[in-house]
Chain A
């Protein structure tokens, strides 16, 4: 009788153990070094976007004016030179490292940490259910992120971002934006989807996908940046274009024979149906 009870208990224990481990198995392990695949949007990534290319960005009129006022000379100012790209944009550039922070007793996941090669920024994705800080707390380039597993997809919600860029040619993303991200692992491929919601500058959410491949023999290098004075300028000088005076923004449209209106972005330019509209618009003379 005793041996029967013991057997039943052992079976129950084994079943419980299987349940527990399968629960844990539903969370993918994302730890490791991941190398960017750069299978899309290459010009927008390493070389940088062309001046006047806002096509496909769901920006509103206010953000368009900001973009048209932007001068690339701005980033020559010392206080702009080492500004890092925000967490909703930094995943476009180079490799990343992910690692886990677990409770040493329970093995419960407390946080995921992520380091970008680009600008060597680090962010923390809290997985322990903590609340986001109040609005009056500090905003940062990485923002405040919390995550949860939705089946085998890690979904991240980020608030407390400083103002950043949707595209690094002047299209701004406000500090009122929130970001939802999804990490989806398929074997050695990681798909990272970023959804930017900006009530200030976007007509619709902006969605960006990036793919990475798991690497067994790469490390993420460091990234140094020191600000220097590159030219003598009057104190407080901010390079910008006065409304209606920016000729640089025609470069993209004229180089590629794209209608000016299409190059200026807006939610409509994100969709395939816009190709019909493009065909009806005047094309600028090539440069």
Chain B
């Protein structure tokens, strides 16, 4: 094992700051949301993908009401709510957070307040506001991150935005709008609190950020993310998918960021990550330092499509994260 040098200490600090940035929503404060338009793409009969800024939203609508996977930034909540109301007047019953980052949970408070939880029996009789607000479901680790002390100068996440129902088991099932919905935990992938949501009858998977199409996946090491976990999650998604003949269509995947996908896209993503992982692992086996690995450009063939030289998550940060993951005993 390598000792923790000053430069690697600093880089860990940068990664930690990135995680805090996303979790706290200060990333959002730097963005201009005034021109963001919320658009809806029909995916299946009762499933829509809402696109704006931040993570994609999955919407399932039907006789029971509305179920939302992820809520984008708080600044967009009014526009998101207006778009939801164009598609359904039904009550918002459930919000599922695929993980804790603010570009996926920022709208929790406002969208929750616009909904109501199904309650009854003793609870309904004894607690007057038991039905107020939609239920927010997330993995337990997502809640832990959202309730952790905020970074200096950053506000704490308000309690109205926190998950109200968490799970710590491999999966949690739900029946809503006439179909089974399976929420599955993907350990140590994008973070250590990732969920994917499988709408079994609609045959749609909402992946959160374990699968994206717009750039190399952000590996939030500070919050438990790892390249191995992201690849495992991609393999799990592929296992769930049943394509139609020719590997086109069949089960559809709404990514955390980017475009609507099917098995071919997820296979390409898995292939890209696996090859990069194998290359960097081979370089580590040969004793190459991080600087040598970066100089060898192990992502060169994928950079024009997936890489970035500036912005929130660059190719260099991605290579550093993979290297760090694979350099630990857990990552090997």
Q: Name B's interface SS.
A: helix
Contact assessment for B245 and A225 in the assembled complex, using a CB-CB cutoff below 8 Å: yes
- Would A136 and B51 be within 8 Å (CB), given that A61-B300, A83-B247 are in contact? yes
Residue of B49, B246, B260 touching A82 (CB-CB under 8 A): B246
B231 contacts which chain A residues (CB < 8 A)? 236
Complex: how many Å from CA A121 to CA B263? 17
- Would A62 and B275 be within 8 Å (CB), given that A136-B49, A225-B245, A236-B235 are in contact? no
Contact assessment for B300 and A62 in the assembled complex, using a CB-CB cutoff below 8 Å: yes
- Would A174 and B300 be within 8 Å (CB), given that A79-B238, A84-B247, A139-B259 are in contact? no
A242 contacts which chain B residues (CB < 8 A)? 278-279, 282
Q: How far in angstroms is the closest Cβ of chain B from A86?
A: 10
Contact assessment for A162 and B265 in the assembled complex, using a CB-CB cutoff below 8 Å: yes
Residue of B238, B252, B274, B279 touching A138 (CB-CB under 8 A): B252
A162 contacts which chain B residues (CB < 8 A)? 248, 264-265, 268
Contact with B along A27-51 (1 / 0, CB 8 A): 0000000000000000000000000
Contact assessment for B259 and A135 in the assembled complex, using a CB-CB cutoff below 8 Å: yes
A69 contacts which chain B residues (CB < 8 A)? 275, 301
Among B51, B56, B264, the one with the most A-chain Cβ atoms within 10 Å of its Cβ is: B264
Which residue of chain B has the shortest Cβ distance to A237 in the bound complex?
Answer: B274
Taking the complex as formed, is A235 at the interface, i.e. its CB lies under 8 A from any CB of chain B? yes
Complex: how many Å from CA A162 to CA B252? 14
A142 contacts which chain B residues (CB < 8 A)? 248
A243 contacts which chain B residues (CB < 8 A)? 279, 296, 298
Q: How far in angstroms is the closest Cβ of chain B from A132?
A: 13
A82 contacts which chain B residues (CB < 8 A)? 245-247
Contact with B along A58-75 (1 / 0, CB 8 A): 001111111001000010
Contact assessment for B301 and A200 in the assembled complex, using a CB-CB cutoff below 8 Å: no
Complex: how many Å from CA A96 to CA B265? 27
Taking the complex as formed, is B10 at the interface, i.e. its CB lies under 8 A from any CB of chain A? no
Contact assessment for A236 and B246 in the assembled complex, using a CB-CB cutoff below 8 Å: no
A136 contacts which chain B residues (CB < 8 A)? 39, 41, 49, 51, 56, 258-260
B279 contacts which chain A residues (CB < 8 A)? 242-243
Q: Name A's interface SS.
A: loop
Contact assessment for B263 and A138 in the assembled complex, using a CB-CB cutoff below 8 Å: no
A100 contacts which chain B residues (CB < 8 A)? none
Taking the complex as formed, is A80 at the interface, i.e. its CB lies under 8 A from any CB of chain B? yes
Contact assessment for A236 and B303 in the assembled complex, using a CB-CB cutoff below 8 Å: no
A175 contacts which chain B residues (CB < 8 A)? 265, 268, 305
Taking the complex as formed, is B144 at the interface, i.e. its CB lies under 8 A from any CB of chain A? no
Which residue of chain A has the shortest Cβ distance to B228 in the bound complex?
Answer: A236
- Would A163 and B264 be within 8 Å (CB), given that A62-B303, A121-B246 are in contact? yes
A151 contacts which chain B residues (CB < 8 A)? none
Complex: how many Å from CA A60 to CA B248? 28
Complex: how many Å from CA A212 to CA B30? 57
Taking the complex as formed, is A201 at the interface, i.e. its CB lies under 8 A from any CB of chain B? yes
A79 contacts which chain B residues (CB < 8 A)? 238, 247, 263, 267
Q: How far in angstroms is the closest Cβ of chain A from B314?
A: 17
Contact with A along B263-283 (1 / 0, CB 8 A): 111011011001100110010
Contact assessment for B270 and A238 in the assembled complex, using a CB-CB cutoff below 8 Å: yes
Which residue of chain B has the shortest Cβ distance to A84 in the bound complex?
Answer: B246
Taking the complex as formed, is B103 at the interface, i.e. its CB lies under 8 A from any CB of chain A? no
Among A65, A139, A174, the one with the most B-chain Cβ atoms within 10 Å of its Cβ is: A139
Q: How far in angstroms is the closest Cβ of chain B from A73?
A: 13
Contact assessment for B248 and A140 in the assembled complex, using a CB-CB cutoff below 8 Å: yes
Taking the complex as formed, is A141 at the interface, i.e. its CB lies under 8 A from any CB of chain B? yes
Complex: how many Å from CA A242 to CA B245? 32
Which residue of chain B has the shortest Cβ distance to A64 in the bound complex?
Answer: B301
Taking the complex as formed, is B186 at the interface, i.e. its CB lies under 8 A from any CB of chain A? no
In chain B, residues 179-216, which have Cβ atoms closer than 8 Å to a Cβ of chain A?
A: none
Contact assessment for A137 and B260 in the assembled complex, using a CB-CB cutoff below 8 Å: yes
Q: How far in angstroms is the closest Cβ of chain B from A172?
A: 8
Residue of A60, A141, A201, A238 touching B246 (CB-CB under 8 A): A141
B49 contacts which chain A residues (CB < 8 A)? 136
Complex: how many Å from CA A84 to CA B264? 10
Contact with A along B284-306 (1 / 0, CB 8 A): 00000000000010101111110
Taking the complex as formed, is B223 at the interface, i.e. its CB lies under 8 A from any CB of chain A? no
5 smallest beta-carbon distances between A and B, as pairs: A65-B301, A84-B246, A66-B301, A138-B260, A238-B274
